[in-house]
Amino acid sequence: MAQQFVNNARSVLVTAVSDSANTMAVSPVDADMFPVANVGAMALPSNNDWFKATLTNLVNVLSPPAEVFTEIVAVRTRSAGNNIFSDVIRGYETDGSGTARAWPVGTVIRIALTAADIRDSILGVAREWNTIPGQAETAGRTLTRADVGKFVPSSGTVTIPAGVFLRDDVVVIYNDSGADISIAKDVGVTLWWVDGANANRTLARRGVVSLLCVRGDEFVISGQGLS
């Protein structure tokens, strides 16, 4: 499941850690506030579960220490009910928290959003806005609702069925072949193009078109290589 997030996970170290230690122990009563991690010694990022934690000497914001230190670590192993974090990567982020430090007993450790988490989230959303997921190529297909919002590669006839799509549904069709293919409308389907005709269409080799449902079984098609 990749990086894990939880709200309000907070504890303190019950043993001191050196600046090179890759194991940390938190208060047993707080252990299960933190996620389970099962990456082991594998590299990050990973599709297995792991989480980031922040160590700090700031215990009370109303009476801060003379100098505030933080360190962000990546915890790769913790089992349910266990207060030991192991396979810890020290100084995991470099935005002011990339230096591994020695931490005494009582140091606060908690889960908090980091600068990298926020950047990755923004970039991930931006990428979703600028990409179109692809379906597997077929030698011909009848479109389904699973194709909505995706590009559909085909080397054979693509059929638009009746009674399947809703207003605002969009499908991108790609002719993944070296020959023309047909885009055929089922009985009861209306398919408009810029020539004003309601008819089946031909898509030239390597052509790409967009299909937009404007209402019920009425569609508009446009794009490159269409006739």
Instruction: Kindly tell me if the per-residue pLDDT of 126 is higher than 60.
Output: no
What six digits make up the tokens of 167?
């207003």
Regarding whether 115 and 155 lie in a shared domain, the answer is no
In this structure, what CATH number is given to the domain that contains residue 222? 2.60.120
57 within some domain: yes
Return the bridge partners of 192, or none: 198, 220
134 within some domain: no
Enclosing domain of residue 153: 141-226
Angstrom distance (rounded) from CA 80 to CA 157:
53
Strands (E), the chain: 10-12, 24-25, 37-38, 51-56, 70-75, 77-78, 84-85, 108-110, 141-142, 151-154, 158-160, 170-175, 181-185, 190-192, 201-215, 218-226
136 within some domain: no
CA 220 to chain centre: 31
Instruction: Kindly tell me if the per-residue pLDDT of 109 is higher than 90.
Output: yes
What six digits make up the tokens of 185?
């409308």
Regarding whether 184 and 107 lie in a shared domain, the answer is no
Whole-number percent of the chain with pLDDT over 90: 63
What size, in residues, is the chain?
A: 227
Cβ atoms of 200 and 191 closer than 8 Å: yes
Q: pLDDT tens across 78-100, in order? A: 999 999 999 999 999 876 566 89
Residue 129's contacts (CB-CB under 8 Å, 6 or more residues apart) are: none
Regarding whether 203 and 162 lie in a shared domain, the answer is yes
Mean pLDDT, range 177-182, rounded to an integer:
92
Whole-number percent of the chain with pLDDT over 70: 91
User: How many structural domains compose the chain?
Assistant: 2
150 within some domain: yes
Q: pTM score, two decimals? A: 0.56
What six digits make up the tokens of 136?
């597997």
Residue 20's contacts (CB-CB under 8 Å, 6 or more residues apart) are: 90, 100
Regarding whether 83 and 123 lie in a shared domain, the answer is yes
pLDDT at 106: 93
Name the amino acid, one letter, at 98.
G
192 within some domain: yes
Q: Which of 86, 103, 129 is the last residue of a domain?
A: 129
Regarding whether 185 and 118 lie in a shared domain, the answer is no
15 within some domain: yes
Regarding whether 95 and 169 lie in a shared domain, the answer is no
Regarding whether 118 and 26 lie in a shared domain, the answer is yes
4 within some domain: no
2 within some domain: no
In this structure, what CATH number is given to the domain that contains residue 37? 2.40.30
Angstrom distance (rounded) from CA 143 to CA 132:
16
The DSSP string of 99-111 is: ----B-TT-EEE-
Regarding whether 56 and 165 lie in a shared domain, the answer is no
Name the amino acid, one letter, at 79.
S
